[in-house]
Amino acid sequence: MDKVGSLNRYTSRVVHLSQSPDGLTVVSAVADGSLRFLEVFGPPSIDKSRISPLDGLLSLKISPIR
């Protein structure tokens, strides 16, 4: 594993880190009782030359209505 960055703005101990489901945000729980939301990753880059006109259609999910 390689170190890619540091979280320097904390005066208390970080007790937990968690990444958002979309992978763009990290939330930290700090010993002083605060939560910090950090935008650490940008949106993924998309190679538009590899996108097919059918990609959107093929990614549809059909859910029955109850």
Q: In this structure, what are the phi and psi dihedrals at residue 10, rounded to the nearest 5 degrees?
A: -105, 135
Can you tell me the distance from the alpha carbon of 59 to that of 52, in angstroms, rounded to the nearest whole number?
12
Structure tokens at 4: 């890619």
Condensed to tens digits (0 to 9), the pLDDT of residues 16-54 reads 989 888 888 889 999 999 998 988 777 777 666 677 766
Domain presence at residue 36: yes
Condensed to tens digits (0 to 9), the pLDDT of residues 18-28 reads 988 888 888 99
- pTM metric for this prediction: 0.52
Q: How many domains does the chain have?
A: 1
Can you tell me the distance from the alpha carbon of 13 to that of 52, in angstroms, rounded to the nearest whole number?
48
Domain presence at residue 15: yes
Domain presence at residue 61: no
DSSP, residue by residue, 24-66? SEEEEEETTS-EEEEE-SPPPP--GGG--TTHHHHT-------
Q: Could you tell me the residue range of the domain that residue 16 belongs to?
A: 1-42
Domain presence at residue 34: yes
Domain presence at residue 16: yes
